[in-house]
Amino acid sequence: MSSLPTVATVIGSGTMGPGIAATLARAGSTVRLYDISEDAIARAEAAYGVVQGVLEAVDSPSAPGGSVTFGTDLDAALAGTELIIEAVPEKLELKQKVFADLEARVGDDVIIATNTSGIPISTMAKSLTVPGRLIGMHWSNPPHLIPMIEIIPGEATDPTLVDKLAEIVKAFNYVPVIEKEIPGFVENRVLYAILRECMALLEEGIVTPEGLDAAVKWGIGYKLSVVGPTRLLDMAGLDIYQAVSSYLNKDLDNSTDTPQFIKDKIAAGELGFKSGAGMYEYGEGDVDAKRKEIITGLIAARKTLSTIPNV
Ligand SMILES: NC(=O)C1=CN([C@@H]2O[C@H](COP(=O)(O)OP(=O)(O)OC[C@H]3O[C@@H](n4cnc5c(N)ncnc54)[C@H](O)[C@@H]3O)[C@@H](O)[C@H]2O)C=CC1
Ligand SMILES: Cc1ncc(C=O)c(C(=O)O)c1O
């Protein structure tokens, strides 16, 4: 019998919600995607066919009976739900307010999973009436393509939820990684260590954005997609790692704040794809073209990687 919930609810239909909902629905769950914004729901509905096409292209597990319904009626979205996945903006107070709204409407046995990028689960759980039901379920963007989910229990999380959520994740053929709670969890700690160094290299004018993207894609990105960092050290030699890290580590960027040039871009309204400019400039149609290239590349890479053993 599948461990998938019969009915699941996704709260927040922005970048992450629609892909999460579609992945569960394709595997067989009845999913209700809820947002406070009518516009966000309309965008998700309009994009649903494309997301389904992507899931088809990567042979995402499918079972009959699954569906997504879209709406702004919270009670309707929660009727009969067993699992709620919260994907509203990364603001502690907002998430806590959402949890309060949810708890007022569902029974104590309903699991609340949060897609937070790194706010400690224990901090969020403090505001819950039933703190044991909150657990971290961190999907990676785009959620319908990146087949790995971090599972993070907080101090109060019911320990049985960890295995239960891991079984749900396996039911749609994703890899669950169970972690201990720490700000940023594992994936974002590694990603933000890389991004911190990358932004410092750009700020100091050491390399161009194009050069940086090429060096990371073909240098470490390509290699790390096949060999994880631990195995990479065995491949390189621990003695080499010691020799290089003994002089390099102290030279790496260790700033604790966001770089000023990024803050300046944000102040100028340059947020990336969503505003038509960011690290790069985008002309008419460029953003859609880039999004398409990225999705096409991720589909091809996932298909190839799925044929390669874990080394
Ligand atoms: N964007 C990314 O690459 C990733 C984001 N995350 C995390 O997932 C969460 C959501 O991120 P995004 O989808 O990027 O955010 P987003 O800003 O694109 O979408 C959030 C959605 O939540 C809706 N919303 C706001 N208040 C709400 C409320 N009270 N009830 C229901 N809906 C409400 C907004 O209307 C919006 O449609 C955040 O915690 C984020 O850190 C996790 C992995 C990757
Ligand atoms: C820049 C950045 N920050 C956070 C996340 C996920 O929490 C992602 C991602 O999933 O890709 C990201 O790119």
Token couple for 83:
């699992």
Within 10 A of 2 (CB to CB), how many other CB atoms are there? 14
- 25, 6 Cβ separation under 8 angstroms: no
Residue nearest to atom 12 of ligand 2 (CA): 141
Report the pLDDT averaged over residues 274-298.
96
Nearest to 180 by CA among 138, 151, 140, 139: 151
- Under DSSP, the state recorded for 281 is B
Confidence band of 211 (pLDDT split at 50, 70, 90): very high
Instruction: State yes or no: pLDDT of 1 exceeds 70.
Output: no
Burial 120-158 (b: 16+ CB within 10 A, else e): bbbbbbebbebbbbbbbbbbbebbbbbbebbbbbbebbe
- Average pLDDT value for residue range 141-161: 97
* Average pLDDT for 45-57: 95
User: Does the beta carbon of 188 sit less than 6 angstroms from any atom of ligand 2?
Assistant: yes
In angstroms, what is the span from residue 12 Cα to ligand 1's centroid? 6
**d(C-alpha 160, C-alpha 162), whole Å:** 5
- Is the Cβ–Cβ distance between 178 and 166 less than 8 Å? yes
| Mutational test site, ligand 2, from 141, 152, 174, 194, max ligand atoms within 8 Å of CB | 141
Output the CA 85–ligand 2 centroid distance in Å. Answer: 17
Helices (H), the chain: 17-27, 38-57, 74-78, 92-103, 121-125, 160-171, 187-203, 209-215, 222-224, 229-236, 238-248, 260-267, 286-305
pLDDT in tens, 58-109: 999 999 999 999 999 999 999 999 999 999 999 999 999 999 999 999 999 9
Question: What's the confidence (pLDDT) of residue 173?
Answer: 94
Q: What is the pTM for the complete model shown?
A: 0.95
If you take atom 9 of ligand 1, which residue's CA is the nearest one? 87
- For the CA of 198, the nearest ligand: 2
Residue bearing the CA closest to ligand 1, atom 2? 141
Model pLDDT for residues 109-149, shown as the tens digit of each residue: 999 999 999 999 999 999 999 999 999 999 999 999 999 99
pLDDT at res. 310: 86
Per-residue pLDDT for 5 more than 70?
A: yes
- Is a pLDDT exceeding 60 seen at residue 303? yes
Q: Is the dihedral of CA 68, 72, 75, 78 positive or negative?
A: positive
Atom of ligand 1 nearest to the CA of 90: 39
Give the Å distance between the CA of 309 and the centre of ligand 1: 34
Q: Look at residue 52 and give its three-state secondary structure.
A: helix
Q: Tens digit of pLDDT for each residue in 167-187?
A: 999 999 999 999 999 999 999
Indicate if ligand 2 lies below 6 Å from the C-beta of 157.
Answer: no
Q: In 3-state terms, what secondary structure has residue 277?
A: strand
How many percent of the chain have pLDDT more than 90? 98
> DSSP of 62-97, one letter per residue?
--TT-EEEEES-HHHHHTT-SEEEE---S-HHHHHH
What is the per-residue pLDDT for 2?
Answer: 75
Q: Give the pLDDT score at 203.
A: 97
Q: How many angstroms is it from 35 CA to the middle of ligand 1? A: 10
Centre of ligand 2 to C-alpha 102, Å, is 26
- Chain-wide mean pLDDT for the chain? 96
Instruction: Summarize the confidence of residues 42-57 as an average pLDDT.
Output: 96
CA distance 33 to 277: 29
